[in-house]
Amino acid sequence: MLKKIFLGLASAGLLAAPAWADPAPAREHMSHALTVTGKVATPLTLKVADLRQLPPANGGELAVTRHNGDKAETITSYRGVRLRDILDKAALDAPGHNDVKKLAIIATATDGYAVVFSWGELYNSPAGEGVIVYYEKNGKALDENDGEIGLISAKDIRTGPRHLKWLNAIEVRKLVE
């Protein structure tokens, strides 16, 4: 309803059209590959075809909820790869006994939106099972509205804040010495 009001006012020249009303921003943010950099032994650049070669992770119906608990969308199914499987392929550079505990993993989209995970979250808690880099949603390849690659943290209570469209970078950082 609110979207219709904004679009009506914009088409009447009374208000500038919001960014989400124009499909051009979605096209300009389209992601085609995912880079993995930082504290890894083997930096990677992965396209969807490369992701399909990794062990698959599938999920069923998932409500994407905003930070306030409102539902943004419902995903009926998704297919991709666990983030930790991608990190294992890149091989975390953490030679010291406790180094992995000091790592933060930052996932960034082409529009600048970024989310953070700790090593412990991904490897030492049930949440890690649900952090999926996905390339199919609702039985179809992702389109320009999502980029070719996205990320969802499916086991979060509110899934929206760590849902990335247009995913294009994973960076591993050591936070403290």
Confidence of residue 14 (pLDDT cuts 50, 70, 90): very low
Name the phi and psi angles at 30, rounded to 5: -50, 130
**Residues recorded for the chain:** 177
pTM metric for this prediction: 0.82
99-123 confidence digits (pLDDT tens): 999 999 999 999 999 999 999 999 9
pLDDT higher than threshold 60 for residue 7? no
Instruction: Supply the pLDDT for residue 27.
Output: 66
pLDDT higher than threshold 60 for residue 13? no
Longest dimension (CA), the chain: 64
Portion of the chain with pLDDT greater than 70, in percent: 85
Confidence of residue 26 (pLDDT cuts 50, 70, 90): low
The larger pLDDT score, comparing residue 27 to residue 7, is at 27
How confident is the model over 1-8, as a mean pLDDT? 45
Nearest Cα neighbor of 159 from 91, 71, 57 is 71
The larger pLDDT score, comparing residue 142 to residue 70, is at 142
